[in-house]
Structure 1
Amino acid sequence: MADIRLRIELLHTDPLVWRRVVVPEQINLHRLHELIQDVMGWADCHLYEFECNGRFYGEPDEWSDRPIALSRNAKLKAVAARAKDNAFHYLYDFGDGWEHRIVIEETALEKSDPCPRFIDGAMACPPEDIGGTIGYEALKAAVAGESDEHGREILEVLDGQFDPEALDEAEIADMLVPFQASFRRLGDAPREPRSVLSEPSQALDMEQSLKAQGIHSMEALMQALQKESDKNRK
């Protein structure tokens, strides 16, 4: 199983919010969605959708106005092979409309351990439910001390705490530990080789025991068992 290096960019942000990761090429798009949530800093509270060359992947529902393939059935390797200009897109929260571009930087990398893993990135993820990039720009303006009423309202909801440049790499690494374990590249203890002598030796001991009792064939064994059964019924 080879690896793929991806750069995930949150579009329409300035400075750009982005992350770089290495993932197994066999990861499916639903698991990639979960990974994006963790490395970006989203809370996985809303719907999502991938798009590659006019094909959409996500969680199909009766309200969808276009065909959507089940993301669990789509492998990153196959999607990457069809991606035009080595990129495809990921939309999170259909209300706020957080658009991401996923750039395929390199494929067929040698399998690495642990994997998936975070490489680098920049800027904090916007908070959830702030009205998309418009709300995010207003929030940053308020943090910078500008008189943006909308931004001050958002900042107040956040208890006045938000650093747009903060990126907690240690927290991201911790979030990826379950992923690494699920791909059996972290914490795998070597499996103990099964003894090739235990079962044959047990069979040999039984054979020797039967021969000592004068039983040298299956027919003789069945007769002995029947005799013992008849004896117990008396």
Structure 2
Amino acid sequence: MADIRLRIELLGTDPLVWRRVVVPEQINLHRLHELIQDVMGWADCHLYEFECNGRFYGEPDEWSDRPIALARNAKLKAMAARAKEGVFQYIYDFGDGWEHRLVVEETGLEKADPCPRFIDGAMACPPEDIGGIPGYAALKAAATGEQDEHGQYLLESLDGEFDPEALDEAEIADILVPFQAGFRRLGEGACEPRQALPQQSQSLDMEQSLKAQGIHNIEELMETLQEEIDKNR
């Protein structure tokens, strides 16, 4: 199973909020959604949707006015192969309308460990429920001291602190640890030696114990066992 390198861009932000990740090509789109939430900094509390060449993938609901395929049944590998110029879309929170551009930068990468993994990025993710790009612009203005009424309200809701340039790469790496373990690459191949070593050690201990009793082969072992049986009759 090979890997794919993706660049995730939050459209409408200036400076651009973006992340670069490497993911397994067989990841399904629901898991890719969860990964985007983790590396971007979203809280995964709203609906989402992927779009590629007029096809939509997400979590179907009764309010949808178009066919939506189940994201869990679609693989990134197939999406990357169909994406025109290697680009497809991801939208999060239909109210705020956070639109992301996903760029397939490279496919067929040698399988990496651990994976998925964060490579690099820039700028802080906007807070949830602030009114989309206009709210984000107002919040940044207030954070720099501008007298924007809506921005000041949003800033106060964040206890007066928001740094649009903050990006904690170490925190993202920590968040991804359980995600990586879910793909079972961290321990692949390592379980067999750990299981085999105790068995090998037990065999060596048994062999040494028998030799200490003067038993060097299976015939001598059988004779010893028979003697013990005869004694106990």
* TM-score normalised to structure 1 length: 0.82
Query: Aligned AA for 2:31?
Result: R
How large is the Cα RMSD of the aligned pairs?
Answer: 1.9
Give the Cα separation in 2 of the matches to 1:175 and 1:74.
24
Which residue does the alignment assign to 1:129? 129
Superimposed CA distance per residue, residues 157-202 of structure 1 (whole angstroms, 9 cap, x where no aligned partner): 111010000000011001110111011112453323598xx9xxxx
Shift of 1:15: 0.1
TM-aligned CA deviation for residue 38 of structure 1:
0.3
* Secondary structure of the structure 2 residue equivalent to 1:135: helix
The corresponding residue for 2:229 is none
Gaps in structure 1 of 5+ consecutive residues: 199-203, 213-234
- Secondary structure of the corresponding residue to residue 12 of structure 1: coil
**1:190 and 2:223 correspond:** no
* 1:105-184 superposed matches below 5 A: 105-184=105-184
SS at match of 1:66: coil
Q: Secondary structure at the match of 2:191?
A: coil
Give the secondary-structure state (helix, strand or coil) at the position aligned to 1:100: strand
Deviates more, 1:20-29 or 1:142-151: 142-151
Amino acid at match of 1:163: D
Aligned length: 201
User: Which runs of structure 2 are paired with 1:198-217 in the superposition (5 Å)?
Assistant: none
2:79 is aligned with 1:68: no
Q: Who is 2:214 aligned against? A: none
- Greater mean deviation of Cα atoms: 182-191 or 162-171: 182-191
Q: Which has the larger radius of gyration?
A: 1
Cα distance in 1, alignment partners of residues 147 and 61 from structure 2: 42
Deviation at 1:147, TM superposition (A): 1.1
Identity, % of aligned pairs?
82
SS at match of 1:176: helix
d(CA) in 1 for partners of 2:109, 2:37? 23
Deviations 1:16-59 (A, max 9, x none): 00000000000000000000000000000100000000000000
2: distance between equivalents of 1:88 and 1:183?
24
Residue 213 of structure 2 aligns with which residue?
none
**In structure 2, how many angstroms separate the alpha carbons of the residues matched to 1:133 and 1:172?**
23
For the residues of structure 2 that align with 1:166 and 1:185, how far apart are their CA atoms? Answer: 30
Any idea what the Cα deviations from partners look like across 1:120-159, whole Å, max 9, x if unmatched?
0000000000000000000000011111111001001111
Residue 52 (structure 2) aligns with? 52
The aligned amino acid for 2:158 is L
**After the TM superposition, which of the residue ranges 62-71 and 183-192 deviates more from structure 2?**
183-192
SS, match of residue 166 in structure 1: coil
How far apart are the structure 1 equivalents of 2:3 and 2:196?
A: 29
* 1:102, distance to aligned residue in structure 2 (A): 0.3
Question: Equivalent residue of 1:163, what SS?
Answer: coil
Secondary structure, in 3 states, of the residue corresponding to 2:159?
coil
Structure 2 length-normalised TM: 0.82
Matched, 1:34 2:34: yes
Deviations 1:197-228 (A, max 9, x none): x9xxxxx9xxx9xxx9xxxxxxxxxxxxxxxx
> What corresponds to 1:3 in structure 2?
3
